[in-house]
Structure 1
């Protein structure tokens, strides 16, 4: 049986559909993770538990294990692990994304420079290495400004600053995150820890696809809830795309990014948002598929199986499955992902009565009982991810499934109490 290494130092708990696809392909999956509970997970042939450590240490441990066990391919679905994944595959001789491409994608300041260098649509930006200097330069850029970490994920600490005082406070919080080393976001020497960007007031979308032998194949484009700020919590990822007339232009931008990165075999995701003139600019991109339910919903709506296509293209014994996995149909249903945000101490967090609904697909609780969660403005924690489905006969059904997701959230088995004073 062919073995692969799944690199998920954290986050594997919300990628059950992805892992099931690996197993359906008849692969023996070995997990590299920091998660203690993974040791008893029967889905994995083995679990290589590593302590929270520098990226290089994780890479060295993984390469040693792969060479000792005849593993020639690593896979990841986690944003914070794309550099680890690329370095492992480079050492193993697997042609996926290069370490250089992963380094660009993992750091938003490098992304901005890359986009500008290749004439790809990017917002105006300023790299932040010092809080006070950034506050001075922000006066010349003009408020409001988007403030974001260079290496976080899931819109953590992405805010809209309307004054120097707000900017100073938010940059200080990002600098604290960067120096903490928490979450595998920042590691090693920290230089540019944040970005200031012009505010893009229009709609935002997320495009996911897969690159096979250098060619990008479209999976799907998710609609997203428009967030005016000051906080940008992700919410209401829905399919099918509401503006199909824009699909070709969005795909062209994504394809140009993939070609400039010289991706050979890789999953791919790019987020784009409209500027004041209605033109899309790139918010961020990554050689992975969007997390959580996105992969499953694209498969349910369009038939195309991005994970199966990617892995089969990298495993010679499964290459005959690529063509079937890439088959893409007209939309078969509407889907929506509702991000659940709460503040307080988690007492219960499960699907509850919501699972009895015909529209229910899945619920991923991302906070365990006893955990303290904080939604904006107090924090950036996601408490859970709810996915729902519905009939698709036309554009109106997309709004119906979005509304239904909000209603079904109320039926979750979710109990949150205020923190003790």
Structure 2
């Protein structure tokens, strides 16, 4: 029926236009279908690659300490390396450039129990209002952490805050790293003043166009001159509080630190008492019993392990202060000092405060003494020791 009547169909311009339009739509549909079929495997392959790709960490924390074993009263320093990833980051200076990086330390004892600090680690992170484009913006002090760079930080002594007792501890560190999208470099004060003057000139209705332009040009030249003069100066950057993009939780590796118990030395180990009496009436030294030799080692020392303690080479008696006769005062002066590797006394400190020139007389006498230094494994070492000088009145002092 259709084919029989097609010869009677009248072809009009409208019909031709409609026919051509339908043909174009049909061809485009076919091409689109062909393109979709062809590109589909590439899309699946890209998706598969994206799913198998391992995400890169924003930054990594590496915690360390110079050694693992420390004495009870020894300082325990911590070192922190912040290894940035492949993006430049705008972060608070507080978190990556100050002691604030160590505020979230976690210390666990051998039983896994958390050890609380005696004195928390604190660091201020103040906000500041900074001028930018004629507006006052609330900011914090910022730091630009460059891609792939490492930021190094040190905490001098964790013992100042934790006072760890003998035992073994595990230490980890975490940082809640805030990331910002904008930064402001604070302008030099002279530049800020010049820009304020320029704003006043710009809004001054009494200045003619040419005069106003000359004044503005002069100020612009001054600004360029100041910028050039201070181009090498380190500029602080500030992060607008409203530009906070998000936070990243970073956790360091764990390190193990052992605080060793303090071993009690033999009685008198740190005390040298070379003088029984130090006055004008010195008693002669008694001879040792037959068959024994008198030891030159200061009283109270005993050898142990591989340490050989210092010995006197030259003993000097103190001069009796004249004020002692006038005041009728006396007593024992206790001195603490170090015998260095050369056998010389140094860092002499009086542990008593009798006055009347007694401490001064004892120190002067000690300075003139010489020693054979202590040794460990045959090598000279320095050792801190103590000695006392006993100043007593002569028996006939009351009659003077």
Task: Bin the TM-score by the shorter chain.
Answer: under 0.3
Question: If each structure's helix is expressed as a fraction of its own residues, which one has the higher value?
Answer: 1
**Larger gyration radius, structure 1 or structure 2:** 2
TM-score (norm 1): 0.16
TM-score (norm 2): 0.16
Task: Kindly indicate whether structure 1 or structure 2 has the higher relative contact order, using CA contacts under 8 Å at least 6 residues apart.
Answer: 2
Question: If each structure's strand is expressed as a fraction of its own residues, which one has the higher value?
Answer: 2
